[in-house]
Amino acid sequence: MERQPYVVSARIVVAHEPQIGVVTVTFNSGRVLRPFLKCVSDQTLMNYRMYVVDNASTDDTLSIFAENQDQRIRLIANPENWGVAEGNNEGIRAAMADGCQAVLLLNNDTEFPQDLFANLYSALDENDCDMSTPKVLYFEPSDTIWCAGGWFDSKRFYGAFHYGMGEKDSGQYDETRQITYAPTCCLMVRRSVFEEIGLMDSKYFVYSDDVDFLYRCLRKNLRLWYIPKSILFHKVSSLTGGDESDFAIRFMTRNRMYFVRKHLPTWQALLWGTHFLAYTAPKLVLSGQDSVSRWRLRCASLFEGLSMAHE
């Protein structure tokens, strides 16, 4: 039986079809929601609907939305945590059903200027592209780049990497250009993209679902453009405990293995797994960057990811 969320609020009063559907997934996001919602409500492009998919939050997330009177917001409350990937899928389906011509996937641990929606949406036609993404800066320090677009490295098993990560922003990445990868913390996508390649792979739950999605776009020669005049400030990993938490280690490792096994020849998957087990993880332990218990967690997560490819 298909899982069914509870539609808590569907206060949609816009008489005409919206230009974009904004999709955000919440899970105990109360501490970041008020500034996020203020940024959304201040946008110069007003013809949107926002689909908030909540994964069974136990903090004040739902009560904050109950206070909100913006009638463009639709809150979909899941009875349990179905993950970021499936949460995005729920929002995308709802946006497409409502006739949205584009979907903006947007993290709620972000803040942004009033022209973000308008710039990214207009960029689709201005650059004759299928997707657009902004320059993403760290929330703190706000002059430091987190992602100025990204790329896939075929020599490293199509790992995804960020341009400019950790660099002070001095305008060195201010050229509008075509790229091959961007994280889905802020990604404007034409509805035709989902119609061609499908939705997110919900097996990922969290982490690497964006890598999988953009890799599928790359294989179909869909065009992604980086729009540096659009700025997003990202409170990186503020809601997941950081990249070195046991939660992050498990899902990052297993999902990387799943991606390699899913998309690349078997021999490459075996090569990556062997390299990880024989070199990468032990090196972390020997250098003092990891413990033996966490190395074991990485190994177990790798085999978990390998088994996912056969489910």
Q: Cα–Cα distances in Å, from 48 out to 24, 131, 135, 157, 176? A: 13, 17, 22, 38, 25
Instruction: Give domain status of residue 1, yes or no.
Output: no
168 and 268 share one domain: no
143 and 118 share one domain: yes
Instruction: Give domain status of residue 12, yes or no.
Output: yes
275 and 206 share one domain: no
Buried b (16+ CB within 10 A) or exposed e, 98-125: eebbbbbbbbbbbbbbebbbbbbbbbbe
49 and 197 share one domain: yes
Which of 13-17, 18-22, 131-135, 169-173 is least confident? 13-17
| pLDDT higher than 70, residue 9 | no
The total number of structural domains that make up the chain: 2
145-163: per-residue pLDDT in tens? 999 999 999 989 999 999 9
32 and 98 share one domain: yes
How many Å apart are CA 217 and CA 58, to the nearest integer? Answer: 35
Type and span of the H or E element at 153? strand 150-153
What is the reported pLDDT for 11?
35
User: Domain range for residue 293?
Assistant: 246-308
Q: What's 207's domain CATH number?
A: 3.90.550.60
What is the reported pLDDT for 12?
34
Instruction: Give domain status of residue 25, yes or no.
Output: yes
- Give the chain's mean pLDDT: 90
117 and 51 share one domain: yes
Nearest to 146 by CA among 162, 131, 170: 162
Which of 204, 234, 264 is the last residue in one of the domains? Answer: 234
Instruction: Give domain status of residue 153, yes or no.
Output: yes
230 and 251 share one domain: no
284-296: per-residue pLDDT in tens? 767 776 777 888 8
Q: What is the pTM (predicted TM-score) of this model?
A: 0.89
| pLDDT higher than 70, residue 228 | yes
Which of 203, 234, 265 is the last residue in one of the domains? Answer: 234
23 and 78 share one domain: yes
| pLDDT higher than 60, residue 210 | yes
Which of 234, 266, 298 is the last residue in one of the domains? Answer: 234
| pLDDT higher than 80, residue 269 | yes
179-201: per-residue pLDDT in tens? 999 999 999 999 999 999 999 99
Instruction: Give domain status of residue 42, yes or no.
Output: yes
| pLDDT higher than 50, residue 2 | no
pLDDT band of 239, cuts 50, 70, 90:
low
Instruction: Give domain status of residue 198, yes or no.
Output: yes
Burial class (CB in 10 A: 0-12, 13-18, 19+), 306: middle
What is the reported pLDDT for 172?
98
Instruction: Give domain status of residue 241, yes or no.
Output: no
What is the reported pLDDT for 199?
98
The mean pLDDT of 119-137, rounded to a whole number, is 97
Strands 48-55 and 20-26: parallel
